[in-house]
Amino acid sequence: MNFEGKTAWITGASSGIGAALAREWGHRGARVILSGRDEARLAEVADSISTETLILPFDVRDDDAMKDATDKAAAWNGVDIFVANAGVSQRSAAVDTDMQVYREIIDIDLTAQIAATQALLPHVTERGSGHLLFISSIAGKVGVPMRTAYCAAKFGLAGYADALRAELSQSDVQVHVIYPGSVATDVSRNALTSDGSKRGRSDSVIDNGIPPGEAAKWIVDAVAKGEREVIVAQGMEQAMGEARRTPEQLLDQVAAMVASGYMEKMKAEG
């Protein structure tokens, strides 16, 4: 697939996988919209991209700001690719973790990503084509210790995306769920601990993980091929993800339900 002249909008684009995806799509000729909370860091990423860019800073938990950004993004050449990438991880045992930490992580990693997608969905369905990417995690396939809130959010995001894919299966809108393993970002350093404070230090497995640029190329190549589930991991993490991979025939079976009129029947039954 040629991304030349397409528009890619990426949330959480100031660092890590989000910034790397912005650069990769720019390298392939796409216009890039960058969103995140830190406008200065977004500007630094924009300066590293040779194609046309638009910076739309906002906090994903601010519904009004997010809706305003959605309107501006849709008006700026339309949105061909949307990446729901903003998120925060966790490093704490469930027994020690404040309930507020669960609420915050689920709000950022799940609810806010759904809200952003829902705001953009009328634009996407009206166009009838495009790509929606949801950055889950291997922890969205396999429950990982010290990450109960994060796993809950990432499993939930994958569930929303899978159901949305089925609903959109009769259009040319493609939905991709990305399951990264350890990628060399600040995800562990920024993870929340049991009381909601930032951890402030990284893990050796993260520091020795896949370089973000390599992960971004992996993801964009998979999108170009139309892959619905994209496991971006190595070694044991890759094996864990592959062990829980959704069979293609199951994804096809759910899409076939929609094609046979399942949604219309449900609506008719009230």
Active centre residues (catalytic): 150
Q: Are strands 7-10 and 31-34 parallel, antiparallel or unpaired?
A: parallel
Token pair listed for 166: 């089925």
Q: How many CA atoms lie within 13 A of 140 on its CB side?
A: 31
Q: How far apart are CA 252 and CA 215, in angstroms?
A: 27
Query: Integer distance in angstroms from the first to the last C-alpha of the chain?
Result: 40
- Torsion, CA 148, CA 220, CA 16, CA 127, rounded to 10: -80
Q: Which amino acid belongs to residue 44?
A: E
Q: How far apart are CA 51 and CA 48, in angstroms?
A: 9
Which of 96, 138, 112, 150 has the alpha carbon at shortest distance from 229?
138
Helices and strands (H and E) in the chain: how many: 11, 7
- Torsion, CA 70, CA 71, CA 73, CA 75, rounded to 10: 160
Q: How far apart are CA 146 and CA 90, in angstroms?
A: 7
Q: Which residue has the tokens 């906090």?
A: 59
